[in-house]
């Protein structure tokens, strides 16, 4: 009985200790809506990164976004040129590529990473973002 109590206490301490290690909210990707994205842009000097292909970026994009293709072999080098201390807002077409990219950016040491929920497809007809479309 005494051994079971000791084992239970050890498991409790270990689970609390490991959950505290992973609870650093500064190093998590935050999903944001178009309205939240616009608020971030109004309040902070954020970098907007479009991780779609150059062709996709040329056709329709969020104003003032920089294109860094997630599928490019130079992707890791390209993101290393960004300021890791400045907030980064990442988007793609629907959210899949930007989710993967956001995780890589956190792993690379970026302090604040925001991912546009649903990508540009969800928001391109919204009045919340300034969208540039090739005419």
Neighbour order of strands in the sheet with 66-67? 29-32, 113-116, 88-91, 47-50, 66-67
Closest residue by Cα to residue 132 from 68, 62, 57, 54 = 62
Q: Give the single-character DSSP code of 28.
A: S
Q: Which of 8, 9, 20, 92 is catalytic?
A: 92
Name residue, tokens 């200790």. 17
Active site residue 92: yes
Tell me which residue has tokens 């290690």.
21
List the catalytic residues. Answer: 92
């Amino acid at each position: 009985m005494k051994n079971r109590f000791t084992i239970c206490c050890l498991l409790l301490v270990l689970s609390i200790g490991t959950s505290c290690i992973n609870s650093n909210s500064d190093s998590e990707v935050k999903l944001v809506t178009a309205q939240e994205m616009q608020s971030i842009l109004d309040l902070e000097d954020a970098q907007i990164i479009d991780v779609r292909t150059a062709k996709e970026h040329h056709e329709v994009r969020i104003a003032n976004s920089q294109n860094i293709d997630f599928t490019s072999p130079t992707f890791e080098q390209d993101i290393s040129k960004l300021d890791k201390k400045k907030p980064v807002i990442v988007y793609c077409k629907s959210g899949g590529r930007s989710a993967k990219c956001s995780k890589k950016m956190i792993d690379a040491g970026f302090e604040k990473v925001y991912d546009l929920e649903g990508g540009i497809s969800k928001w391109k007809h919204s009045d919340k973002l300034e969208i540039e479309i090739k005419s």
